[in-house]
Structure 1
Amino acid sequence: MSLSGRERRILDEIEQALEREDPELAERVAAINRIESGGNAFPQSYGERLRVWALTHVWMIFSIGALLILLLLIAVLTT
């Protein structure tokens, strides 16, 4: 069930008044709305930064492991 045009205008007026009177509360409400709509609460995407950090570390661990295995194989084959 969608809102009528009048109801949307009233909500817009309330939102604008809230932003003028208490910008911090307005940002908190906006974050809650982003969460409830399936979006991300953090504009800079904390989850995305965490995912990149984790993938980078996993890649480094596999690379170092592969290098160690290669060095061990060379050491075994040359003795």
Structure 2
Amino acid sequence: MAVPLPTATTRWRCTLCGNLTRFDVTRRSKVVEYVHLDLAGEPSVEEREVVSEAVESVRCRWCNAVDQIELVDRPGASA
């Protein structure tokens, strides 16, 4: 089940315990990276383009609830 991402006017909230700040997020990403190898062979990523990304699950860090996360309005966010 895909989980909607927070926006500039919304944030995640656990419906069981009310947590608003601590979550474990499982993401699936497809990226294109430009990798530079130095002369010793050590790689470093110099550019990264995210082709697609989806949040697969969000688990509350306080109560370990999964699939209990909702989007709520951020305080002070103009609708």
TM more than 0.5: no
Task: With the length of structure 1 as denominator, give the TM-score of the two structures.
Answer: 0.16
User: Structure 2-normalised TM-score?
Assistant: 0.16
Structure 1 or 2: larger helix share? 1
With CA pairs under 8 Å and 6+ residues apart, which has the higher RCO, 1 or 2? Answer: 2
Which is greater in Rg? 1
Q: Larger strand proportion, structure 1 or 2?
A: 2
